[in-house]
Amino acid sequence: MSDTQPRPHLPRLHLHDSRTRSTVPFVPLAPDNVRVYYCGPTVYDLAHIGNLRAMLTADVLVRLLRHLYPNVTYVRNITDVDDKINARAHANGESIADLTARTIRDFHEDLAAVSILPPDVEPRATHHIGEMQDMIRSLIESGHAYEAEGHVLFAVNTYPSYGALSGRTPDDLIAGARVEVAPYKRDPGDFVLWKPSDDQTPGWDSPWGRGRPGWHIECSAMSQRYLGESFDIHGGGSDLLFPHHENERAQSMCCHPHGRFANHWVHNAMLLVNGEKMSKSLGNFLTVRDVLRDTPAEALRLLLLRAQYRSVLNFTQEGLDEAKQMLDRFYRALENLDPMQDSVPAPGSVVQVLCDDLNTPRALAEMHALADAAMTGDSRAAAQLKAAGNLIGLLQDTPEAWFRGGAKVDPAHVERLIEERLAARKARDFARADEIRNALAAQGIVLEDGPQGTTWRQA
């Protein structure tokens, strides 16, 4: 079979495109190599569940593309030079190299825990400074960028389509930024491609003095390096649409006027926690690790898939409990899997709804229908349920391991929670103390308070 066509018996993917603000058939520029770029993490802190939603959206999209097309190249960068990194390393009293290495390791661990597959290429910004400088030089030569007081700035008024991606204008940026405009900018909307570094700050020699790149130029340089001047899909969270993606697009289109940069833009909606925007000041800020401390990773993954990626997702403890119950049900159904049954392809009904702009809630509904059939003893339906799970990265355990996992107890973890409960009681935070008791009870662990302190046993 020729590898140059999409697999003919499969449905065509329809995907929402942020630039045209419409859901359109996805047509790869070259069907023998579908190329995808996602903005990865700035590595100064643990990933939170909002970051996870973007990475998971990419994972489901790439898994589906791999099912539909013979060859997919997925690039997701790491931003390892940024003022937030410099500030955090300083505050922690550790080196930038130690901070970024540890954060990258933690990021990989967290994503692997929720079965997010690694990208094909994971370029680091600091390894591509030369490519960024080449682009900046070319933008200066073509009159799209200018040097001022050790900075190089992109002149937004040289790109007439600026704002077309996000539907916003440079004025919005100024209104949103609420900061004094730097005096060296010709136009308040101009943004930094290169900025000067002092001796304490990471920097590289350049024609414009020792300095470091702005954030936006990184992705333009790395996507071009690994995917070319034109590629199929660029994605990220909706918070990146403006200014980050708008600026990436302006730089790349001005550097390569005959290229298209990204042909299709995918943005996932935000995630709320208990109906509110997640923030450290509200105390509802949740890292992936916070959630995985008390919850099986597949339950977190399933919870995030219960909303289609363009709908705002409200994260709650009840939602997480429901996700775990759904998995209990799926794994019960998988107990009817006939070990002699050959593996089957992902069911067409599930592929079909995923091809409708990644409609994961409908895919889960299809899986429930398969679970119903499997529970009446239909072993083929059980095999199809397993195959559907494989397609979207769920049901990776055996039923045995899943149900045993529910009763798996880490004594050190229980001891830590008992100490935390004791501290909560001392601080008269009885709500938190009860919450810990209930969370442990849900794992089948009973606490007994006595004169010698608190002991525990498995129910």
At closest approach, how far in Å is the CB of 127 from Zn ion? 16
Of 32-51, which residues contact Zn ion (CB under 5 A)?
39
Per the annotation, where are the binding residues?
Answer: 39, 219, 244, 248, 280
Residue 173 or 350: the one with the smaller Cβ distance to Zn ion is 173
Report the candidate in 119, 25, 12 with the shortest Cα–Cα distance to residue 64: 12
Stretch that binds Zn ion, among 56-64, 212-220, 306-314, 360-368 (CB under 5 A): 212-220
Spatial CB neighbours of 420, under 8 Å, sequence gap ≥ 6: 432, 436
Cβ atoms of 394 and 380 within 8 Å: the answer is no
Please list, in sequence order, all residues whose beta carbon lies within 8 angstroms of the beta carbon of residue 427, skipping any fewer than 6 positions away: none
**CA 329 to CA 343: how far, in whole Å?**
21
**Is position 78 an interface residue for Zn ion (rule: CB under 5 A)?**
no
Interface with Zn ion by CB under 5 A: which range of 59-67, 92-100, 215-223, 395-403?
215-223
Residue type, 442: A
Nearer to Zn ion, 261 or 331 (CB): 261
Closer CB to Zn ion, residue 39 or residue 114? 39
Nearer to Zn ion, 103 or 223 (CB): 223
Q: Which is nearer to Zn ion, 39 or 132 (CB)?
A: 39
CA-nearest of 50, 53, 24, 17 to 285 is: 50
Token digits of residue 21: 């603000």
437 CB-near residues (< 8 Å, 6+ apart): 421, 447
Q: Is 219 in the site for Zn ion (CB under 5 A)?
A: yes
- Pair 147, 206: CB distance under 8 Å: no
Query: Annotated binding residues for ATP, as ranges?
Result: 280
Q: Minimum distance between the CB of residue 237 and Zn ion, rounded to whole angstroms?
A: 11
How many binding residues for Zn ion (CB under 5 A)?
2
Instruction: Give the list of residues 6+ apart from residue 343 with CB closer than 8 angstroms, or none.
Output: 383, 386, 387
Minimal distance in Å, beta carbon 248 to Zn ion? 6
SS3 labels along 276-310: EECCCCCCCCCEHHHHHCCCCHHHHHHHHHCCCCC
In the complex with Zn ion, the residue whose CB is nearer, 170 or 237, is 237
Residue ranges at the known binding site for Zn(2+): 39, 219, 244, 248
To Zn ion, the closest distance from the beta carbon of 181 in angstroms equals: 24
Residue 140 touching Zn ion (CB under 5 A)? no
Q: How far is the CB of 267 from Zn ion (least distance, A)?
A: 12
C-beta closer to Zn ion: residue 159 or 402:
159
DSSP β-bridge partners for residue 450: 453
**Number of Cβ within a 10 Å radius of residue 232:** 25
Cα(45)–Cα(358) distance, integer angstroms: 29
**Minimum gap (Å) between residue 219 Cβ and Zn ion:** 3
Q: Which part of the chain contacts Zn ion (CB under 5 A), choosing from 67-75, 218-226, 254-262, 413-421? A: 218-226
How far apart are CB 38 and Zn ion at their closest, in Å?
Answer: 8
Contacts with Zn ion by CB under 5 A lie at 39, 219
